[in-house]
């Protein structure tokens, strides 16, 4: 299995959704993330990370609010935002990341 570092070093954008099963806003965002994953399967990797099952990584990345979204490309954090985001907003960040 690839490490987190290997995954974020990808040449294509990696959208990461830090969530928790008990988080209401995370449940609201889940269908949006799934739509993006389905629509961008070739251009963007989408990863959902449960903070309760990945506490060490969540702590290392200083995840404070949920849901927390991040976009990495070639190992660099290009965008980070906490709270529910619109599909349009997330897609525009992904499009910007593709140009980097």
pLDDT, tens digit (0-9, with 9 covering 90-100), for 28-81: 999 999 999 999 999 999 999 999 999 999 999 999 999 999 999 999 999 999
Q: Supply the range of the domain harboring residue 66.
A: 4-98
Active-site residue, from 8, 14, 26, 94: 26
Tally the domains of the chain. Answer: 1
Contacts of residues 37-40 at CB distance under 8 Å and 24 or more positions apart, as own/partner, are 40/94
26 part of the active site: yes
Point out which residues pair with 91 in neighbouring strands.
none
13 part of the active site: no
Instruction: Specify the DSSP element, H or E, that contains 24.
Output: helix 24-39
Measured CA to CA in angstroms, residue 30 lies from 11, 19, 26 at distances of: 25, 9, 6
Task: Output the pLDDT for position 97.
Answer: 97
Active-site residue, from 20, 23, 71, 94: 23
For residue 56, the domain's CATH number is 3.40.30.10
Please name the residue that has the structure tokens 């190992």: 75
> What is the pTM for the complete model shown?
0.96
């Amino acid at each position: 299995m690839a490490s987190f570092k290997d995954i974020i070093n990808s040449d294509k954008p990696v959208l990461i959704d830090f969530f928790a099963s008990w988080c209401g806003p995370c449940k609201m965002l889940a269908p949006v993330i799934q739509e993006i994953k389905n629509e961008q399967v070739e251009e963007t990797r989408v990863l959902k990370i449960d903070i309760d099952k990945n506490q060490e990584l969540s702590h290392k990345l200083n995840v404070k609010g949920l849901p927390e979204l991040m976009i990495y490309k070639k190992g660099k954090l290009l965008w980070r935002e906490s709270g529910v985001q619109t599909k349009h907003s997330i897609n525009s960040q992904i499009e910007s990341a593709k140009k980097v």
